[in-house]
Amino acid sequence: MNAHTPSEELRAWIGRHLDPLEDAEAADGVAGRSDFDLNPEQFPPTAEPLTPASVLVGLVEREAGLSVILTRRADTLRRHTGQVALPGGRRDPGETAWQTALREAHEEIGLEPGFVSLVGLSTPYRTGTGYLITPVVGFVRSGFTLVPNPDEVAEIFETPFGFLMDPKNYQQQERTLPTGETRRFYAMTHENQYIWGATAGMLRALYDRLYGAAVA
C-alpha cells in the first residue's frame, strides 16, 4: 500500500494497523517504544511516573500523495528548542489522547479540528524526559489554514509521507548528553529539515506498524 492509493482504501488500510481511538485509556502507562530502544543500558532502573501527552500525525491529502504536518519549535522554549516536532503536548486532566492531539494542534498551529478525520492510535512512546506520548493519526482534508503560535512554533511545514515511511531514510546517530552519556537516536533530513529524536522514533514506530508486519 502506498501514498497514491485511493483515499478511502488507504484510510481503511491504515486504520486496520492502528489501535482504535477508544483503546487509549487501556494503553496508558504502557510504552511500546522509547528513547531507550537504541540505548537499553540507559533505561531507568526503577519505575517512575510518566506524564501523559499526545501528538497529531496529520496526513494531508495532496495531489502528489500524502504529506505529514510537522513544526519547528520556537527558539524561546525551555526544552527541545528549535527541534522538529509533531503538533502536540501534555494531556489535560479528563482528556482522551485524541482530544489532546486535536486541542494542541489547534493551539499550536491553528488547525481546526473539523478538518481532521481520526483513524486510530499508533504505538505509545516514552521519552527520556519522562513523557508517555500517544501518536494520534488522522487525515486532514484540504481547505485548512495554519497559523503558528509564536510562543511555541517557529515554522510549519509538510514532509512527504512516503519519505517518512521509507526505512532507508532513517539513520542511527548519537550525541553526548550534558550528563556525559552517549545517546543514540533515529534521524533523517528532508529539504534541510532535521527530524530526529522522539519525533523520528515515533514516525519509525508508525512505519513498523504499517509495513513491518503483514496485516490483512
Strands (E), the chain: 33-34, 51-62, 65-73, 84-85, 88-90, 116-121, 125-126, 131-140, 153-160, 171-176, 182-190, 193-196
Answering whether pTM is above 0.95, one says no
Query: pLDDT by residue (tens digit) across 49-79?
Result: 899 999 999 999 898 889 999 999 876 655 5
| Domain 7-43+50-211 CATH (choose: 1.20.1050.10, 3.40.50.2020, 3.90.79.10, 3.40.50.970) | 3.90.79.10
Query: With bands split at pLDDT 50, 70 and 90, how would you rate the model's confidence at 157?
Result: very high
State residue 22 phi and psi, 5-degree precision: -75, -10
The yes-or-no verdict on residue 1 having pLDDT over 90 is: no
